[in-house]
Structures are given as C-alpha cells and as structure tokens.
Amino acid sequence: MWTIEVDQVSKAFASDRGRVVTADGLTLTAAAGEITAVIGESGCGKTTLLRMIAGLETPDSGSIRFTNPEKPDTAPRISVVFQEPRLFPWMTVRENVSLAVRELPGSEKWGRTDEALKAVRLCDAADAFPKELSGGMAQRAGFARAIAQSPDILLLDEAFGALDALTRTVLYQEFQALQSERRMTVLLITHDVLEAVMLSRTILRLRGGVIDESFAVPFPYPRSLATPGAGDLSHRIYGTFFTGEKEEIK
C-alpha cells in the first residue's frame, strides 16, 4: 500500500487582493491503507493541496512523494472524487463510469465498470441517465468511476458536501464498507468535522498554509453517529477553531 508524503510544500497565487499563500512549508503524511482527513475553513487551501497531490497543480517549492516498499519503481494509480459528480448528461451511468477505463479491451472495460457499479450498489441504475438520478445516486456514480480504475490512492474533495444529511449518513456507511474491502490510501478534504470523525483514522487541521494540529480518531470501524465518544471528539475539535487553543487529541 502507498503512503503520501508532502514535504515542505509552498504554493502562492496572484489575485486582485495581492499574493495569496495557500501552502507555506506544508508537511504531512497520509498513512498507507488508511483514511486521513484534512479539515479547515473555506479558502484555507485544502483543495489546492489535493490538486497538487493529484498532479493538477505544481508546488512552488517542496516535494510530494508516494512510497510503497513493495513497489519501489512504480507509480500509484490515483483517482479523485469531486463535490459534484460531473457526469456527462448524454451518457448512461454505465457509460459514464466506463470512461475511467476506456483504454482497456472491451470485455475487461465493461467487466471493471460493472464491478465498480456493484461495489457502490448502483447496478439497477446502470442504464439510467444522470437527469434520472437522485443526488446520492449521482455521487455513487462518481465514486464508481473513481474506483473502476482500482486506485491505490483515492482523493476526496468535499465528496459528500453537496448531499443532504440523511444521504450523507448512508454514504458514510457505504464508503466505510468499500474501504474495508479495498484498503486504499484515502485523503479526505472536508470542512465537516463530524464527517472527518466518522471516516478517518487521523484528522489534520490546515490553517495559515500549514498543518497546525493533528487529531487521532481511536474508534473502530464501522462507525456511525451513535459510536460512543464520536460526538464528544467532534465537539472538542470544533472547539479548537473558536478558542484558538491547540490540542493534540490521541
């Protein structure tokens, strides 16, 4: 399994407000086969961090490495799930998902597509068009497209953020089950502290261009809103945003 290592990364943009620094010597490690969450207020640079890890942006300085002792001379397969599912409206769900593996021979392409649809419980909607889907079903299609590539690393950019609370809760449960089967290295970008507690093993807070706090989440999987201690941990982490105090929770 793959570890993500971000080492002393800096990134800045020019804007109408002047120079905007989104990363300032940022360093973090996302453990192999685990879910690591990065939380922070809107505009703190979470998505820029994800885009740099995905290779969609280039750091001004520093390095991003992917390490796997068992595969020292290869690169990981990386998939991204965004806040919006970004489905082509003229294609069926199955056709949309198949785009992720379009370079494969026909039988293998459709086999991987159908396997991904089964993993997210979307087989019954395979021939539907995006306009016929609920928000939760559309986001499941986005997840299916991402996992069809059998990624080693999965990057989630506010992937649950556009959904209503009930649908999010269902997808949290489904994603935990999916992760227990596939053991991907997952980086979850979110501003929702409870979501981070529900899904991740480690929570990192991004503020001022650096990771300024780390919170270990000790609860076993599967987790739910009823998991003892989850609500209390969420409130304690929320509290650090308003008190300005640092607290490393283990």
pLDDT at position 245: 55
188 assigned to some structural domain:
yes
pLDDT at position 244: 58
List, for residues 157-179, the tens digit of each pLDDT value: 999 888 888 888 988 999 999 99
Total domains in the chain come to 1
- Please determine, for residue 246, whether its predicted confidence score (pLDDT) is greater than 60: no
Token pair for 143: 């997840």
232 assigned to some structural domain:
yes
94 assigned to some structural domain:
no
Residue 223: partners with Cβ closer than 8 Å, 6 or more residues away: 172, 176, 197, 198, 199, 230
List, for residues 93-106, the tens digit of each pLDDT value: 999 999 999 999 88
226 assigned to some structural domain:
yes
Separation between Cα atoms, residue 81 and residue 143, nearest integer Å: 6
pLDDT at position 142: 93
Q: Which helix (H) or strand (E) holds 85?
A: none
101 assigned to some structural domain:
no
List, for residues 118-133, the tens digit of each pLDDT value: 988 899 999 999 999 9
Amino acid at 14: A
Q: Which of 112, 114, 111 is nearest to 93 (CA)?
A: 114
* CATH assignment of the domain containing 44: 3.40.50.300
Separation between Cα atoms, residue 68 and residue 4, nearest integer Å: 9
133 assigned to some structural domain:
no
Q: Which of 23, 22, 20 is nearest to 6 (CA)?
A: 23
Average pLDDT over every residue of 220-232? 92
Percent of the chain predicted with pLDDT > 70: 97
Separation between Cα atoms, residue 10 and residue 131, nearest integer Å: 41
84 assigned to some structural domain:
no
Q: Are 195 and 43 in contact (CB under 8 A)?
A: no
pLDDT at position 250: 44
Separation between Cα atoms, residue 133 and residue 229, nearest integer Å: 35
179 assigned to some structural domain:
no
Q: Report yes or no on whether pTM surpasses 0.85.
A: yes
List, for residues 16-74, the tens digit of each pLDDT value: 777 888 999 999 999 999 999 999 988 888 999 999 999 999 999 999 999 999 988 89
Amino acid at 3: T
Q: Are 123 and 144 in contact (CB under 8 A)?
A: no
Distances (CA, A) of 46 to 122, 179, 210, 223, 239: 30, 22, 10, 24, 20
Averaged confidence pLDDT in the chain: 91
Distances (CA, A) of 61 to 19, 21, 55, 131: 16, 12, 14, 43
Average pLDDT over every residue of 224-246? 84
Of 181-190, 200-209, 235-244, least confident by mean pLDDT is: 235-244
pLDDT at position 248: 46
Structural domain range at position 212 = 1-77+184-243
Token pair for 172: 């949290």
